[in-house]
């Protein structure tokens, strides 16, 4: 897809950080106002009633005031999504009369006309497929496109490195095919009549939020712009041995379509309702889109959307937590996915992509919140894209971008969930860390090396903990014991305004006990967030590294040459790293802030708050580690040595 240029996003951007202590939740919200950006308003309104109302009552109030009620926000009995068909879909000012009209109703407490903003698909370039090739019976599976699905089984025949793949055959051999697991594709719709998808389509869990009806069928355009969701769906759940296209990673699993990208502007209500749709029918939500990857946008989930994600993670899947898989971004090396609040969130699993020879793709962004990688296009041969289903019953070999990588991860997680229905959202992240492989992934530019963190886990800034291994994750999922309770510790804060030197660097220290002796004690890390406020004469020139007490260095912000912001900076922005997973957080954390090119800019760091998330108890102590060379055995040993 062509990456659209972004309109600078509107204000009212709210950021939520969450402290979760088993059931007790604390939601801190902060308003981050983007100054001077042109605003767009949609004809959607969030309407909050004073008291609980029925759907019929809300419908009547909407009608009485000339609105349509598109339904509740996140199944609320008080908050509803009203649409006024008489207003243009987008305009540059709020409509005071429409606002006032609703506000006069004594039952209504709050009315908020929804600003519109851009969310773009992550895909590299659209190409129309030429239809099917003849059936080839010599392969297992027998599907004609299986031989092009090198990301499932790489035998080198497509020009890539043999065995550089998702190792799915090893998972299938253990009986895992995704039965009774549903992945929702939040995108531009799904061709659910496609012969390779229709039997795995979960209509009950599907919805069209772009046009408010239960049928998320893609809207036709001549250039097949709306083929993105269908392509993603096939990667997860295309049927096996039916003579059509290829196979999905979890070919017996279900896909739901959530159509939500196909309207002129995104709103918080559409996003929130999409991410909160049927959380007990949907196990995994896959998103291959986000704020525009232009290397200068800093944006993320807004108020209702943040509430939806937090609710999904804490309550979805009947309390085990929904899995949100996120494409890390297609902004290339000039962007940093830590500036994307969806990819950088702890609640999402952010997935980067590697190409068939083990390098990262040229469109890949990198950042320390990436947990792992799967595969996408970018090899020398254009045919080495991702083979999958396409619109109108066709197949394609050229699905692309980190867009194509995220659904592969969703498929792998569907396999793991099938063999252990008890896996929580955190178990999935732990399993990812422990079973992903370095394989032959490398940085073609030689800049980002593989490194060991303080407990012997190998990571790479580009690829996280490596490429997902479906065989290994399924095997470990079968034996898995739910990880201990998660705690959230405020590790310390510096809130003095300090100049970032024009040349040289500023290093700040926080010495933390990681809440030792309190109810929030964290001894074994999961995610770490550095919540930072700063400004600069050029935001894109600021580079930051965070070093843990065990000396693991995370580049939490890289140079973004296109980001010329000189007014907003970052306001309580949660930079996240996964690289210190399993480490002991106690001791001295260092934050190093500098300008990429010395001597040209000035700026001030105003706040650094260190948030530590993890467990008090050793997470893997009840798990057997038969292979002494496995990552699990190494981490267990590091944890035992500490005690
Ligand atoms: C399928 O999953 C649903 C919800 O996760 C569960 O209620 C149901 O019992 C499962 N059915 C089978 C056949 O496993
Ligand atoms: C954001 O959500 C919280 C939690 O529901 C709410 O209390 C707050 O008023 C919301 N803020 C805005 C600006 O809508
Ligand atoms: C899932 O968890 C429940 C309750 O904790 C337990 O009774 C059950 O044995 C677990 N099942 C599996 C497959 O681990
Ligand atoms: C800095 O933190 C201290 C202690 O938490 C607080 O009293 C003070 O108001 C803060 N200052 C600013 C500028 O936020
Ligand atoms: C950054 O903040 C400082 C202190 O609040 C202020 O003096 C300076 O003008 C600001 N710089 C920019 C580039 O906004
Ligand atoms: C620091 O930057 C200034 C320009 O702002 C330059 O003149 C000076 O030589 C630099 N100093 C060092 C030590 O690089
Ligand atoms: Ca097929
Ligand atoms: Ca980006």
* Ligand 2 neighbour 453 (Cβ under 6 A): no
CA of 182 to the centre of ligand 1 (A): 10
* Ligand 5 neighbour 537 (Cβ under 6 A): yes
CA of 439 to the centre of ligand 6 (A): 44
Q: Is residue 3 one of the residues assigned to a domain?
A: no
Same domain, residue pair 525 and 503:
yes
How confident is the model at residue 13, as a pLDDT?
27
Same domain, residue pair 192 and 312:
yes
CA of 256 to the centre of ligand 2 (A): 29
Closest C-alpha residue for ligand 2 atom 2:
303
Closest C-alpha residue for ligand 6 atom 3:
599
Same domain, residue pair 546 and 415:
no
Surrounding residues of ion ligand 8, Cβ less than 5 A: 293, 329, 331, 335, 340
* Ligand 5 neighbour 568 (Cβ under 6 A): no
CA of 633 to the centre of ligand 2 (A): 45
Region 349-359: what's the mean pLDDT? 93
pLDDT band per the 50, 70, 90 thresholds, residue 37: low
Closest C-alpha residue for ligand 3 atom 13:
420
Ligand in closest contact with the CA of 502: 6
Same domain, residue pair 301 and 338:
yes
First-to-last CA distance in the chain?
A: 52
How confident is the model at residue 129, as a pLDDT?
38
pLDDT band per the 50, 70, 90 thresholds, residue 329: confident
* Ligand 5 neighbour 535 (Cβ under 6 A): yes
How far apart are alpha carbons 424 and 483 in whole angstroms?
9
Closest C-alpha residue for ligand 2 atom 12:
303
CA of 315 to the centre of ligand 3 (A): 18
SS3 592: strand
Q: Is residue 628 one of the residues assigned to a domain?
A: no
Mutate to test the pocket of ligand 6, among 598, 600, 601, 602 (most ligand atoms within 8 A of CB): 598
Mutate to test the pocket of ligand 2, among 14, 16, 109 (most ligand atoms within 8 A of CB): 14
How confident is the model at residue 402, as a pLDDT?
80
507 close to 547: Cβ distance less than 8 angstroms = no
Closest C-alpha residue for ligand 3 atom 10:
422
Q: Is residue 4 one of the residues assigned to a domain?
A: no
DSSP lists the bridge partners of residue 533 as 607
How confident is the model at residue 293, as a pLDDT?
87
Q: Which of 360, 380, 183 is nearest to 288 (CA)?
A: 183
How confident is the model at residue 493, as a pLDDT?
97
* Ligand 2 neighbour 562 (Cβ under 6 A): no
How far apart are alpha carbons 471 and 1 in whole angstroms?
32
pLDDT band per the 50, 70, 90 thresholds, residue 380: low
* Ligand 6 neighbour 502 (Cβ under 6 A): yes
How far apart are alpha carbons 555 and 368 in whole angstroms?
7
CATH of the domain at 376: 3.40.50.200
Ligand 3 pocket, CB under 6 A: 420, 422
| Least confident among 82-91, 212-221, 582-591 | 82-91
Decide which of 96, 115, 134 is a domain's last residue.
Answer: 115
Decide which of 74, 95, 115 is a domain's last residue.
Answer: 115
Closest C-alpha residue for ligand 6 atom 6:
599
Region 216-234: what's the mean pLDDT? 91
357 close to 379: Cβ distance less than 8 angstroms = yes
> Apex CA 20: angle with CA 475 and CA 325, to 5°?
45
C-alpha of 623 from chain center? 28
Its domain, for residue 439, covers: 121-479
DSSP per-residue letters across 425-460: HHHHHHHHHHH-B-TT-B-TTS-S--EE-TTS-EEB
Region 64-84: what's the mean pLDDT? 94
pLDDT at 401 over 90: no
Mutate to test the pocket of ligand 6, among 499, 503, 537 (most ligand atoms within 8 A of CB): 503
pLDDT at 128 over 60: no
Phi-psi sector, 542: left (phi>0), alpha (psi -120 to 50), beta: beta
CA of 343 to the centre of ligand 8 (A): 8
CA of 595 to the centre of ligand 6 (A): 12
**201 or 383, greater pLDDT:** 201
Ligand in closest contact with the CA of 568: 5
**202 or 136, greater pLDDT:** 202
Q: Is residue 623 one of the residues assigned to a domain?
A: no
Q: Is residue 341 one of the residues assigned to a domain?
A: yes
CA of 445 to the centre of ligand 6 (A): 29
Same domain, residue pair 446 and 473:
yes
How confident is the model at residue 95, as a pLDDT?
87
Sign of the Cα pseudo-torsion (151, 157, 160, 161, in order): positive
Same domain, residue pair 110 and 178:
no
How confident is the model at residue 522, as a pLDDT?
98
* Ligand 5 neighbour 533 (Cβ under 6 A): no
Region 578-605: what's the mean pLDDT? 97
pLDDT at 123 over 90: no
How confident is the model at residue 488, as a pLDDT?
97
**Any alpha helices (H) in 388-541, and if so which ranges?**
402-419, 425-435, 470-479
Region 474-503: what's the mean pLDDT? 97
Region 62-70: what's the mean pLDDT? 94
* Ligand 5 neighbour 314 (Cβ under 6 A): no
Same domain, residue pair 216 and 154:
yes
DSSP lists the bridge partners of residue 595 as 542
Look up tokens 């210190």; give the residue.
Answer: 580
* Ligand 2 neighbour 29 (Cβ under 6 A): yes
CA of 180 to the centre of ligand 1 (A): 6
CA of 240 to the centre of ligand 1 (A): 22
Q: Is residue 624 one of the residues assigned to a domain?
A: no
Same domain, residue pair 267 and 371:
yes
Region 318-345: what's the mean pLDDT? 93
Looking at every residue in the chain, the average pLDDT score rounds to 89
CATH of the domain at 67: 3.30.70.850
> Apex CA 584: angle with CA 583 and CA 586, to 5°?
145
How far apart are alpha carbons 174 and 24 in whole angstroms?
38
How confident is the model at residue 281, as a pLDDT?
98
Same domain, residue pair 438 and 495:
no
pLDDT at 32 over 90: no
Region 128-137: what's the mean pLDDT? 37
CATH of the domain at 601: 2.60.120.260
Ligand in closest contact with the CA of 495: 4
514-569: pLDDT as tens digits: 999 999 999 999 999 999 999 999 999 999 999 999 999 999 999 999 999 999 99
Closest C-alpha residue for ligand 6 atom 13:
503
Give the pair of three-digit tokens for residue 69.
């009620």
Secondary structure, 3-state, 169-233: HHHHHCCCCCCCCEEEEEECCCCCCCCCCHHHECCCCCEECCCCECCCCCCCCCCCHHHHHHHHH
150-193: pLDDT as tens digits: 999 999 988 889 999 999 999 999 999 999 999 999 999 999 99
Closest C-alpha residue for ligand 5 atom 1:
535
> Apex CA 615: angle with CA 611 and CA 618, to 5°?
140
Closest C-alpha residue for ligand 2 atom 7:
29
Q: Which residues are catalytic?
A: 187, 228, 403
How confident is the model at residue 332, as a pLDDT?
86
Same domain, residue pair 275 and 312:
yes
pLDDT band per the 50, 70, 90 thresholds, residue 374: very high
Q: Which of 223, 161, 190 is nearest to 388 (CA)?
A: 190
Ligand in closest contact with the CA of 500: 5
DSSP 520: T
SS3 376: coil
**Sheet with strand 542-547: strands edge to edge:** 505-512, 587-595, 542-547, 553-557
Q: Which of 270, 343, 297 is nearest to 89 (CA)?
A: 270
3-31: pLDDT as tens digits: 222 222 222 222 223 322 222 222 333 23
DSSP 332: G
Q: Is residue 275 one of the residues assigned to a domain?
A: yes
Q: Per this entry, what is the length of the chain?
A: 643
Same domain, residue pair 505 and 457:
no
Decide which of 78, 97, 115 is a domain's last residue.
Answer: 115
Ligand in closest contact with the CA of 16: 2
409-447: pLDDT as tens digits: 999 999 999 999 999 999 999 999 999 999 999 999 999
Closest C-alpha residue for ligand 6 atom 12:
503
Q: How many domains does the chain have?
A: 3
Same domain, residue pair 475 and 360:
yes
How confident is the model at residue 12, as a pLDDT?
26
330 close to 363: Cβ distance less than 8 angstroms = yes
């Amino acid at each position: 897809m062509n990456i659209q240029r972004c309109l600078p996003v509107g204000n009212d951007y709210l950021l939520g950080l969450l402290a979760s202590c088993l059931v007790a939740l604390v939601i801190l919200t902060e308003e981050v106002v983007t100054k001077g950006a042109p605003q767009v308003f949609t004809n959607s309104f969030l309407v909050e009633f004073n008291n609980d109302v029925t759907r019929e009552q809300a419908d009547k109030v909407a009608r009485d005031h000339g609105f349509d009620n598109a339904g509740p926000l996140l199944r609320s009995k008080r908050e509803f999504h009203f649409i006024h068909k008489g207003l243009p879909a987008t305009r540059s000012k709020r409509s005071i009369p429409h606002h006032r009209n609703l506000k006069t109703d004594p039952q209504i407490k709050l009315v908020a006309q929804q600003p519109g903003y851009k969310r773009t698909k992550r895909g590299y370039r659209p190409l129309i497929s030429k239809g099917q090739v003849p059936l080839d019976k010599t392969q297992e599976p027998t599907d004609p496109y299986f031989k092009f699905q090198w990301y499932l089984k790489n035998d080198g025949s497509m020009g890539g490195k043999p065995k550089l793949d998702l190792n799915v055959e090893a998972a299938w051999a253990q009986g895992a095919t995704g039965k009774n697991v549903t992945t929702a594709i939040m995108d531009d719709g799904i061709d659910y009549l496609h012969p390779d998808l229709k039997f795995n389509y979960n209509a009950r869990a599907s919805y069209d939020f772009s046009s408010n009806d239960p049928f998320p069928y893609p809207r036709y355009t001549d250039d097949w712009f709306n083929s993105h969701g269908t392509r993603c769906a096939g990667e997860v759940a295309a049927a096996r041995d039916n003579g059509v296209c290829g196979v999905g990673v979890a070919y017996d699993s279900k896909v739901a379509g959530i159509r939500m990208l196909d309207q002129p502007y995104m709103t918080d209500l559409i996003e929130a309702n999409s991410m909160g749709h049927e959380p007990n029918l949907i196990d995994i939500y896959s998103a291959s889109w986000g704020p525009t990857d232009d290397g200068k946008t800093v944006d993320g989930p807004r108020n209702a959307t943040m509430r939806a994600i937090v609710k999904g993670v804490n309550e979805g899947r009947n309390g085990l937590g929904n899995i949100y898989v996120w494409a890390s971004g297609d902004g290339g090396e000039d962007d940093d996915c830590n500036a994307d609040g969806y990819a950088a969130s702890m609640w999402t699993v952010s997935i980067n992509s590697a190409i068939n020879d083990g390098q990262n793709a040229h469109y890949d962004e990198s950042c320390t919140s990436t947990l792992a990688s799967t595969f996408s296009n970018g090899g020398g041969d254009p045919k080495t894209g991702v083979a999958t289903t396409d619109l109108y019953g066709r197949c394609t070999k050229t699905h692309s971008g980190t867009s194509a990588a995220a659904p592969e991860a969703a498929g792998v997680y569907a396999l793991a969930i099938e063999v252990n229905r008890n896996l929580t959202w955190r178990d999935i992240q732990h399993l990812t860390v422990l079973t992903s492989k370095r394989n032959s992934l490398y940085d073609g530019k030689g800049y980002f090396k593989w490194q060991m963190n303080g407990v012997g886990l190998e990571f790479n800034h580009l690829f996280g903990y490596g490429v997902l291994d479906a065989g290994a994750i399924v095997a470990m999922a079968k034996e898995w014991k739910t990880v201990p309770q998660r705690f959230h510790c405020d590790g310390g804060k510096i809130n003095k305004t300090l100049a970032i030197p024009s040349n040289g660097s500023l290093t700040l220290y926080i010495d933390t006990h990681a809440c030792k002796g309190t109810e929030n004690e964290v001894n074994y890390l999961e995610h770490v967030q550095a919540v930072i406020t700063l400004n600069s004469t050029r935001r894109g020139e600021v580079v930051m590294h965070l070093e843990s007490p065990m000396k693991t260095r995370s580049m939490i912000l890289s140079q973004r040459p296109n980001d010329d912001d000189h007014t907003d900076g970052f306001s309580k922005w949660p930079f996240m790293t996964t690289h210190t997973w399993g480490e002991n957080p106690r001791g001295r954390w260092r934050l190093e802030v500098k300008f990429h090119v010395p001597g040209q800019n000035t700026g001030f760091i105003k706040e650094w708050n260190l948030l530590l998330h993890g467990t008090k108890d050793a997470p893997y102590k009840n798990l057997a580690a038969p292979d002494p060379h496995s990552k699990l055995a190494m981490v267990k040993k590091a944890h035992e040595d500490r005690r």
